[in-house]
Structure 1
């Protein structure tokens, strides 16, 4: 008498029901309303920056002296500045500069800080002492003052401001990665990897670095907001973007003498900085809640 066959084929699971660490993190992130608000703000400014050449009603260098310091109207939604340039156009192009500096300054800081942090945490001894003292020296100066000093040495320009912002933020990511590596290298799977003859380079690339990404992602998102503020501060002091580039901090600096006569020249660049920084802070807090195990119940 034959036995009945048993169907062992696993049931079909819909694609949206498949579980995974990043998919679960995205699901949890979407439930955080403030984090989604931050993401929407960031997407809005990114789209404005990308589409500025297509939707800007004027050129950001275009001057109409007869229309200088005009109040917001149908022809100039955000009014005009002291040279008759359209503020709405310059705000859109300014988003390009601020986001570009924020993203690439943080990327540079993450690359250098992660490299130094891994070396210090994994190899220890004299290398850890040397790199840690370097971080301590950089952290001994207020970040904006150190950035001003670096730009003063290199010369005022947007590119040098980017370098300065990246340099002053290296210790933030370096110390974060160092602490993570110190906790990871004592784990049992690292000991097992050493026991089977895995090289240090392979251990770093396949085990240490991937498991250090979570705090880097969270801090990097929050760091973009800090970099945008620092770029605006350098621009306000005349050490960042140079005329006629429409950087938000530089726009604030150029308009501060007209704050009573033409307040819109100050309000709109200030609001743009505030909203962009708020967006990254909200999204960073949401990512921390989702990715940091200590924040989970």
Structure 2
């Protein structure tokens, strides 16, 4: 009888776990570096900026990216790189504010939907489902058209329009925590419901929101920039990234970098927030 030789692991089986860990590590390090740069630009833009973002020099108008102007210049000869750096603070504040509104509303609605009496929970659930079924972009556009375009309108519109999806997630987290084994054990030990709610249910339901909040910042900035690009957000000559997209639209054929580069910066920030948020989420799940 012949003895079967042990199967040699396939190449991807031998290398994929190590490569995956290395890839995650490098992606996280890269995201942290970009996050640090964005934070520095928001806190102290003068450290990174090379020019005055408002200084006009029509002789240098619409210059392509070069060693003198890294991201080129706009129609007024203003340095695009410096304008992006100085616009970081406003863009981040809009993203953080919108994410904060969305998750606060989601926490309130999701908690009521999961913990209230049957009639109240049913009503709130219907409200969440109807709002979730309504296209978020249309809801944001509706709110902006009613309230009028402004930075604060952007924050409210993006926050309210994205809240229903997060509310469903919060409701699911609380219901899952309510039915967990440790809650049943606490009840068996005679602990009161409010003590169980405060010490077990809500902490375990809210903990994942740390990761969600990080990812929501990037998403909110993308949404707010989209509103500005449609002319319903912060108006030029603001350096907010969406306003830069809107301003560059008029010269997109002659100077495509005015639209492409701000859009790329928005994409990088969204990917940075998503990468860090995903890592936080994975760490929380491993720590359970």
Task: Tell me the CA shift for residue 191 of structure 1.
Answer: 4.9
Residues 1:96 and 2:81 are matched in the alignment: no
Preserved contact between residue 106 and residue 166 of structure 1 (Cα < 8 Å): yes
Preserved contact between residue 101 and residue 228 of structure 1 (Cα < 8 Å): yes
**Equivalence for 1:244:** 237
Q: Structure 1: which 5+ residue stretches go unaligned? A: 1-27
Task: State the Cα deviation string for residues 123-150 of structure 1 (Å, max 9, x = none).
Answer: 2411211111111121122111110110
CA distance in 1, matches of 2:185, 2:281: 30
Task: Tell me the CA shift for residue 192 of structure 1.
Answer: 5.9
Output aligned runs, 1:227-242, within 5 Å.
227-242=220-235
Residues 1:164 and 2:178 are matched in the alignment: no
Task: Tell me the CA shift for residue 56 of structure 1.
Answer: 2.4
Task: Tell me the CA shift for residue 219 of structure 1.
Answer: 2.2
Greater alpha carbon shift after TM alignment, 159-168 vs 61-70: 61-70
| Pair 269,157 (structure 1): closer, same or farther in 2 beyond 3 Å | same
| Local SS of the residue matching 2:208 | helix
Preserved contact between residue 34 and residue 286 of structure 1 (Cα < 8 Å): no
Task: Tell me the CA shift for residue 90 of structure 1.
Answer: 0.7
| Local SS of the residue matching 2:44 | helix
Residues 1:198 and 2:188 are matched in the alignment: no
Greater alpha carbon shift after TM alignment, 222-231 vs 148-157: 222-231
**Equivalence for 1:214:** 207
| Pair 286,192 (structure 1): closer, same or farther in 2 beyond 3 Å | closer
| Local SS of the residue matching 2:237 | coil
Preserved contact between residue 48 and residue 85 of structure 2 (Cα < 8 Å): no
Preserved contact between residue 237 and residue 243 of structure 2 (Cα < 8 Å): no
| Pair 74,183 (structure 1): closer, same or farther in 2 beyond 3 Å | closer
Output aligned runs, 1:1-297, within 5 Å.
32-187=25-180, 189-191=182-184, 196=190, 198=192, 200=194, 202-292=195-285
- Number of residue-to-residue matches in the alignment: 267
Q: Structure 2: which 5+ residue stretches go unaligned? A: 1-20
| Local SS of the residue matching 1:244 | coil
| Local SS of the residue matching 1:238 | coil
| Local SS of the residue matching 2:54 | coil
* TM-score using structure 1 length: 0.81
Preserved contact between residue 117 and residue 175 of structure 1 (Cα < 8 Å): yes
CA distance in 2, matches of 1:162, 1:52: 22
> Larger relative CO (CA 8 A, sep 6+): 1 or 2?
1
Greater alpha carbon shift after TM alignment, 115-124 vs 139-148: 115-124
CA distance in 1, matches of 2:67, 2:207: 47
Task: Tell me the CA shift for residue 45 of structure 1.
Answer: 1.4
Task: Tell me the CA shift for residue 188 of structure 1.
Answer: 5.0
Task: Tell me the CA shift for residue 54 of structure 1.
Answer: 4.0
Q: Please, what is the CA RMSD of the aligned residues?
A: 2.5
CA distance in 1, matches of 2:247, 2:239: 10
**Equivalence for 2:6:** none
| Pair 107,29 (structure 1): closer, same or farther in 2 beyond 3 Å | farther
Preserved contact between residue 122 and residue 185 of structure 1 (Cα < 8 Å): no
